Amino acid sequence: MAARELSDTALRQLDNSMCIGQVRFNPLGQIIRGAVVIPVERAQARGKLVPCVVEEVTQMLGLINDTKRFHPTVFSDLTDDELLT
């Protein structure tokens, strides 16, 4: 499923990630499709299953990608926030 839904770049990142999401847009910039892949055993082993679901699904709904600009929130890799803020 991951190979079908994610780009080659995202697939390469998945090997070192607990979760990854990818969004596709139409020419108007509207979200037309999104995919989230979470290797459940890996995320659970690190206690990150729920934070992965929160972050990736929320990003699929609008604010795309991690950013340093929205600190401290679930959208920043610089914070320990793992739930919606």
* Per-residue model confidence as pLDDT tens for the chain (85 residues): 889 889 998 899 888 888 898 888 899 988 898 899 999 999 999 998 998 898 888 888 776 666 677 777 776 767 776 777 6
Peptide bond into 39 cis (omega under 30): no
pLDDT at 49: 93
Task: Tell me how crowded residue 63 is: count the other CB atoms within 10 A of its CB.
Answer: 13
Looking at residue 42, its pLDDT comes to 92
pLDDT of residue 26: 94
What is the pLDDT, as a whole number, of residue 66? 66
Amino acid 65: pLDDT: 62
Q: How many CB atoms lie within 10 A of CB 21?
A: 22
State residue 28's pLDDT score: 94
